[in-house]
Amino acid sequence: MRYTIQFSILACVAFVIACSPAKGDRTGHEYMPDMTHTVGYEANLYDYYYYNRWGTEAEYKKFVNPRTSVHGTVARGQISVANAADGAARMMAMQAFEGENAGSFAYTPNGSVPYYYADTEEERARATKEITQNPFPITDASLAHGKELYIIYCGICHGDKGDGRGYLVRDEDPAKGIVAGIYPAAPANFMLDTFTRANVGRFYHAIMYGRNVMGSYADKLSYKERWEVIHYIRSLEAQSKKLEYSATANTFNNEATPWAAMESAMKKEVAPMAADTAMHEAMGSEVHMNQH
Ligand code: HEC
């Protein structure tokens, strides 16, 4: 009996020591190392641990490293390069892909393009100033697709005409059977000069981050789709000014507006924005859920 107790105490001590953690220059002990270090090869993770490996270190390294793709694999978006008939055609396709031909634009194979502006008002102004070109050409297809996306994602608030009177916000009109809008803040009216004269960066930034009660649409629209929506907004703005913005003509030349004029127009909007922010705060958590 006495020995049994002594033995159990010893076993407990041994167990505790066996699991002592690493500290200072002591490496510590592990009880059942295969619980800590997986025996399986983990792709893209080099964590060779000599105790419980089936193979040698060299073999381990080989298996966890990324493999080269199967011969003949074509990166997404590069099919025109792969299908080119000869060297000259391949060169043309490659140049188009890299945005080196007139009217073309660089486009990453996975369709994702990084955005280097932060979600602040200063950065909104910087994006408005610096992003002056829609990288996609105006085509009938891009305008049609832009319209479709705009109606789905923006028109409900900003209105099918872009005048800020989408069905979620428009006023009650019982005679026409229109019930009062349920969205509490006024969406931007793209027909105002401050928007018609702003560079496209202002729209792109708004899609990426939203503003106040408007949430981001970056996860709903791909890079290309964002610019298609902007093409469509531009065409609505042009229409309201009796100008043309289409595949054949573009008389809607917002580049003529100097930045100083754009900036001062944006600054003048501070008042309504502050009102929106106050409403935003007054509404509390409900709006936060809306935001992202
Ligand atoms: C749920 C309603 C709602 C939807 C949907 C919506 N917006 Fe907005 N948007 C707003 C509101 C409200 C504001 C005003 C925010 C403010 O200035 O406080 C706004 C502001 C903007 C602005 C002006 C930002 C600035 O620089 O002042 C742009 C541009 C814009 N939205 C574009 C879009 C686009 C493009 C879409 C579709 C992808 C979209 N919005 C979808 C509600 C919405």
DSSP letters for 220-251: TS-HHHHHHHHHHHHHHHHHHTT--BSSS-B-
Pocket of ligand 1 contains residue 183 by CB under 6 Å: yes
pLDDT at 271 > cutoff 60: no
Percent of the chain with pLDDT over 90: 35
Please give the Cα distance from 283 to 170 (Å, whole number). 19
The pLDDT assigned to 100 comes to: 77
The pLDDT assigned to 201 comes to: 94
Average pLDDT over residues 47-57: 77
Confidence of residue 274 (pLDDT cuts 50, 70, 90): very low
- Is there a contact between 48 and 60 (Cβ–Cβ < 8 Å)? yes
Please give the Cα distance from 235 to 89 (Å, whole number). 34
Please give the Cα distance from 184 to 49 (Å, whole number). 59
pLDDT at 23 > cutoff 80: no
The pLDDT assigned to 184 comes to: 74
Residue 158 to residues 66, 165, 219: CA-CA distances in angstroms?
Answer: 47, 6, 19
Q: What is the rounded average pLDDT for all residues in the chain? A: 80
Average pLDDT over residues 43-58: 78
Q: Lowest-confidence range among 108-112, 187-191, 238-242, 246-250? A: 108-112
Instruction: Say how many Å lie between the CA of residue 236 and the centre of ligand 1.
Output: 16
Percent of the chain with pLDDT over 70: 78
**What percent helix, strand, coil does the chain show, rounded to 5?**
50, 5, 50
CA gyration radius, the chain: 30
User: Over the range 114-128, which residues count as b (16 or more CB within 10 Å of their CB) and which as e?
Assistant: ebebeeeeeebbbbb
Please give the Cα distance from 194 to 239 (Å, whole number). 16
Pocket of ligand 1 contains residue 158 by CB under 6 Å: yes
The pLDDT assigned to 211 comes to: 95
Pocket of ligand 1 contains residue 107 by CB under 6 Å: no
Ligand 1, atom 26: closest residue by C-alpha = 202
Residue 1 to residues 4, 8, 12, 201, 261: CA-CA distances in angstroms?
Answer: 5, 11, 17, 83, 95
The pLDDT assigned to 242 comes to: 94
146 CB-contact burial (10 Å; exposed 0-12 / middle 13-18 / buried 19+): buried
91 backbone dihedrals φ, ψ, rounded to 5°: -60, -45
Instruction: Say how many Å lie between the CA of residue 210 and the centre of ligand 1.
Output: 6
Return the higher-pLDDT residue of 222 and 75: 222
Average pLDDT over residues 11-31: 68
Pocket of ligand 1 contains residue 201 by CB under 6 Å: no
pLDDT at 107 > cutoff 90: no
| From 158, 161, 183, mutation site for ligand 1 pocket: most ligand atoms within 8 A of C-beta | 158
Average pLDDT over residues 153-172: 88
pLDDT at 145 > cutoff 50: yes
